[in-house]
Amino acid sequence: MNPSDRTHAGDPAPEPGPPPEDEDPLGLFDDSNPFEESASPVETPLLEESDFDLSASLRDARQVIDQGGKATYTVLVADDDENTRRILSRYLTSAGIQPIEDNGKDVLRKIAQFKVDLVLMDIVFPHTTGFEICKEIKASHALAHIPVVMCTAKKTKESIVKAAGVGASGYIVKPFTRETILEKITDLRKKQAIEGPPPSLSVQTRPTEILRADAVRVPGAETVRLRKEAALARGLQVPYPFLIIDDERLARHVLKVVLEQCGYAVEEATRGEEGLEKLGAGKYSAIFLDLSMPGMSGFEVAATIRSRPETSAIPIILCTARTSKEDILSAAKLGIRHFIKKPFTRETVLEKIQAALGG
């Protein structure tokens, strides 16, 4: 975190004051009830919370969502400052919300792993920005529905407008109070309860469920089944690695987890051009290819692969959210018969590998 993004002991608390209406186009800005932070927030009255009573609206929101079947509402707190993460986590815990902490280096994986419902995130990180992370979240088919609330000391017009532009659902200025944090979360929880889960994502099929089941907690019976699947997979002729070409990091990670657990070697490319370079330098048993990517599209990449004698015979499995009649016909013209529709299950991936390589 940049030093200018923190409030230090002895400094006067900033007086944010809401920006003019035209500078906050989506009403993201929230600066109600600022407090003065000390250099040691763990030992200050900020964490003496026994006198705080949850508002009726918060209790109502918790009741509505808990009745939907999910035992605990989970919020990822992403901030490179440990004290800030600790304060926010304490606030959330006091409201019956499960906090998951991250310093900004592993946000996407933790969102998938812990089935996060909402993200509270700083803007300034040592090696990236909250804006970039938010863009990745919103670009992911599996994660785009998750609200992201920026929680930062930055209150410029540029920052607020940029937050709106990358898809943030809220903007809270430091220093903040517990009431401000919980009220914002309450509003978004109510909205989620009304709208329900995104229609394209089901508990059985979304990629985050694959990641949770395979990479994090695999029970004994599941382990036995995975070994059987791995044995079947090793029976195929797979002398070379699989190549995944997809600009979406989470999609690549989930697919890689599935393939590696079945004993396959995997390499990745984030763009079509990079994938073609790898194909020119090495040998691969099959290619998992997305259609929608910056630069070369998936179909352009596939056409180039088919035009090269050394790669023309490599099986291509399209792994994409696009499965329209036009896309299927375009794929057929390139000799591509295998589609995996996002979101996908492990079983679907294995079936398509069997079909592409096993006959």
pLDDT in tens, 65-124: 444 444 589 999 999 999 999 999 999 999 999 999 999 999 999 998 888 999 999 999
Are residues 24 and 160 located together in one domain of the fold?
Answer: yes
Query: In terms of residue numbers, what domain contains 150?
Result: 3-195
CA dihedral 304, 309, 311, 315 (to 10 degrees): 100
pTM above 0.85, yes or no: no
Domain with residue 20: its CATH number is: 3.40.50.2300
Give the residue from 312, 319, 309 showing the smallest Cα distance to 268: 319
Are residues 213 and 312 located together in one domain of the fold?
Answer: yes
Residue 280 and residue 304: Cα distance in Å, rounded?
11
**Among the three residues 165, 195, 225, which one is the final residue of a domain in this structure?**
195
Are residues 212 and 347 located together in one domain of the fold?
Answer: yes
Q: What letter does residue 277 receive in the DSSP assignment? A: H
Number of domains in the chain: 2
DSSP string, 107-170: HHHHHHHTT-SEEEE-SB-SSSBHHHHHHHHHH-TTTTTS-EEEEES---HHHHHHHHHTT-SE
pLDDT in tens, 23-75: 444 444 444 432 233 333 332 222 223 233 334 434 444 443 444 444 589 99
Least confident of 83-92, 207-216, 278-287: 207-216
Are residues 148 and 276 located together in one domain of the fold?
Answer: no
- Assess contact for 168 and 160: CB atoms under 8 A: no
Cβ atoms < 10 Å from Cβ of 95: 22
pLDDT in tens, 264-276: 889 999 999 999 9
Residue 188: inside a domain: yes
